[in-house]
Amino acid sequence: MIITGKNGAGKSTLLRLLAGLRSPDAGQMTWNKADITKNAIEHTQHIAWLSHQDSLKPALTVKENLLITSQIYKTDLQAALKTVNLDHMADIPVRMLSAGQKRRTALARILLKPAQLWLLDEPSVGLDQETIEQLGLIFKKFTKQGGMIITTTHIPLPLENSKTLHLPSLSSLVPSL
């Protein structure tokens, strides 16, 4: 699913709700009939979260930033780096990377966590057109293996067979005086 809307429409907030990082103001959010706000730790085992921030340590290398995720889940770090075309940059400190390379490093972390659901907040930020096309191949492989993706975006993303949810701007919901 692709979530679109103007800045401030609530796209990132919706993803945070789905990730269990924020409680709803009313009602409840469930995953397999379990309230995710009451079972947040268990819920996080099923999702991989990419926020607007890349959440990387600038002083660490690309490899060092990803190593703990790879070790926890016993996943192939080298394969993830190759998938995002960063295998040749594994030993470079993140502070030396471009914005797009940092984003690809954060995307590699998503690949390292076995998850049923990817929640991606504007995954294409900083990426060039070629890398966005590569992202489409990554999406296709993940969904073919039964994975689900919910992502926000301001630009078209190569996510096949997806539905789009357009969030109206909050100002359009408030009556004028």
pLDDT tens-digit map of 141-174? 999 999 999 999 888 888 888 898 898 876 655 5
DSSP string over 115-149? -SEEEEESTTTT--HHHHHHHHHHHHHHHHTT-EE
Average pLDDT, the chain: 89
Find all residues with CB under 8 Å of 136, minimum gap 6, and list them: 157, 158, 159, 160
Name the residue type at position 150. I
Kindly indicate the confidence band of residue 177, based on its pLDDT and cuts at 50, 70 and 90: low
Range from 12-26, 106-120, 126-140 carrying the lowest mean pLDDT? 12-26
Which run of H or E residues covers position 175?
Answer: none
pLDDT tens-digit map of 111-126? 999 999 999 999 999 9
pTM: 0.88
Please name each of the domains of the chain with its CATH number: 2-169 (3.40.50.300)
